[in-house]
Amino acid sequence: MLHEGHEVSCLDEDPESHARLEVGLDKAWEDLGGRFTVGAGLETDALVAAGIEQADAFIASTDGDNTNIVISQIAQRRYEVPTVIARILDPLRAEWYQRQGLHTICPTRVAIDMLEEAVRDGSERVH
Amino acid sequence: MYIIVVGAGKVGWNLARELLEKDHEVTMIESDRRRYLTVEQELEHNVSYGDASELWVLERAGIQRADMVIAVTGDDEDNILICQVAKEKYAVDQIIARVNNPRNKPHFDLLGVKPSVSATDLILRLLEHEVPEYGLVHLLDLQEEQLEIIEMLLGKDCGVTGRRVGDLAMPDGSLLISVLRDGKGFVPGPDTVLETGDEVLAVLDPGKEDELKAIFGSGSGSGNGAG
């Protein structure tokens, strides 16, 4: 998204993650206009430091479903970010929170669909 | 009542025990296998193994017919979401959540998880209660109802000792609800005469504290003793 000219700010508990952001980039993350904040997503100070108050879109994609669901609701209700997306691995909860008005992406669901598709394609080729 | 307790730590286990003694039907849910096996030796079928942030685990525990869900895990996100789902998806009447980190308390409120209980807060309240110099102790906020309950210890130099309750110019939106004297409590009437050492409980609209303080002259400081 940085390459498309958007301003992107990452918040992560692990300072090492900054290095991962720069893999495959020819310049430093900051030189390309990126921002990086070390902190926990539940800490409002960290969210504000990462610029949540100015954000047009907020993506919660930590490795914990519960953290993502809580933070994305905070982004929605407290900071009124116009576009909020939460990564939820658990398909049942992804579906329910989607119905509650949270935009959810369920990688498990996506993977299941792709796998099903691949199996169908494979069996068609055999027959 | 049918009560689901999530989290079999020290708090959850002892809570479940007490609730069972009071003849409630209890299911406790614990996600750590080893902890579950330990607790299961005592509580047997009253404890169930699984991650209560998954909906099917809650459904297996019979959340649809639960009267109350109490989330006391060591993880604030879990406690918030379990209670949120219990209330909004399964329409459970009563929820109680434990706050581990007091800084997360606003998140509980924001997501509609009330009441939430924080041990740190309770200890602070207790501290205030045990240290009478504090004067006016905030006991309870009934946020939904827009009411507060406070406690005042009547000192020697306060303006109301020796006076009838009926003669006090109580501000609108406040009411004396009880007096604790010599270890006994009673509901004061207009003819009750207040004494030094009385602990008085009052219920009031938020923001009336200062007016009440002016009348009761509470606090160890003598400067604010009006009335």
Q: What is the pLDDT of residues B66-94, one digit of tens each?
A: 999 999 999 999 999 999 999 999 999 99
Residues of A in contact with B73 (CB under 8 A): none
Q: Which residue of A has its CA nearest to B104?
A: A42
pLDDT of B221 strictly over 50: no
Query: How far apart are the CA of A66 and the nearest CA of chain B, in angstroms?
Result: 6
Q: Looking at residue B159, what is its pLDDT?
A: 80
Cβ distance B55 to A65 less than 8 Å, yes or no, reads: no
So what's the pLDDT on residue B89? Answer: 96
Which chain A residues are closer than 8 Å to B86 by Cβ?
none
**Mean per-residue pLDDT of chain A:** 92
Q: A46 — contact with chain B (CB < 8 Å)? A: no
Whose tokens are 């009926």? That residue is B166
Q: Which residues of A touch B76 (CB under 8 A)?
A: 42
Which chain B positions have a beta carbon within 8 Å of A70's beta carbon?
Answer: 77, 80-81, 107, 111
Residue B109 contacts A where some CB pair is shorter than 8 Å: no
Domains in chain A with CATH codes: 39-126 (3.40.50.720)
Cα–Cα distance, B106 to B160 (Å, whole number): 38
Which sequence spans correspond to the domains of chain B?
2-119, 131-216
- Closest Cβ opposite residue A96 in set B55, B77, B104: B55
pLDDT score recorded for residue A58 = 97
On whether the pTM is more than 0.80, the answer is no
Q: Which of B89, B78, B17 is nearest to B50 (CA)?
A: B78
Residue B80 to residue A78, Cβ atoms within 8 A: no
Q: Are B187 and B178 in contact (CB under 8 A)?
A: yes
Residue B119 has pLDDT above 60, yes or no: yes
Least Cα separation, residue B79 to chain A (angstroms): 10
> Across chain B, how many H-helices and E-strands are there?
7, 11
Q: How far is A67 from chain B (nearest CA, A)?
A: 6
If you average pLDDT over residues A5-33, what whole number do you get?
A: 90
The three-class DSSP label of residue B25 is: strand
pLDDT band with cut points at 50, 70 and 90 for residue B219: very low
List, for residues B142-151, the tens digit of each pLDDT value: 666 677 778 8
Chain A residues with beta carbon closer than 8 angstroms to that of B103 = 43
Chain B CB contacts of A78 below 8 Å: 110
**What are the pLDDT digits (tens) for A36-65?**
999 998 999 999 999 999 999 999 999 999
The overall average pLDDT reported for chain B is: 85
B/e letters for B155-167, b = 16+ CB within 10 Å, e = fewer, are beebbbbeeebee
Model pLDDT, residue B86: 97
CB of B75 less than 8 A from some CB of A: yes
- Examine the pLDDT at B131 and tell me if it is beyond 70: no
User: pLDDT > 90: what percent of chain B?
Assistant: 48
Distance, in Å, from the CA atom of B24 to the CA atom of B44, rounded to the nearest integer, reads 15
Q: Quick check: A97 contacting B, CB < 8 Å?
A: no
Whether the pLDDT of residue B199 is over 90: the answer is no
Give the CATH superfamily of B2-119: NAD(P)-binding Rossmann-like Domain (3.40.50.720)
Residue B143: predicted pLDDT = 61
Examine the pLDDT at B121 and tell me if it is beyond 80.
Answer: no
B131-216 folds as: Alpha-Beta Plaits (3.30.70)
- Residues B162-182: pLDDT tens digits? 889 888 888 888 888 888 888
Q: Can you tell me whether residue B188 is helix, strand or coil?
A: coil
A69–chain B Cβ distance below 8 A for any pair: yes
| Structure confidence at residue A113 (pLDDT) | 94
- Which residue, B87, B124, B74, B102, is CA-closest to B4? B87
Of the partner residues A74, A96, A100, the one whose CB lies closest to the CB of residue B110: A74
Model confidence at A77: pLDDT above 50: yes
How far A23 CA sits from the closest chain B CA (Å)?
A: 32
Chain B CB within 8 Å of residue A96 CB: yes
**Per residue in B33-48, pLDDT tens?**
999 999 999 999 999 9
Identify the pLDDT of residue B222. 35
Estimate to the nearest angstrom the gap between the alpha carbon of B166 and the chain centroid: 30
- State whether residue A73 sits within 8 Å of chain B by CB: yes
Chain A: residue whose CA lies nearest to B102: A43
Tally C-beta pairs within 8 A across A and B.
44
What ipTM, to 2 d.p.?
Answer: 0.85
Which chain A residues have a beta carbon less than 8 Å from that of B104? Answer: 42
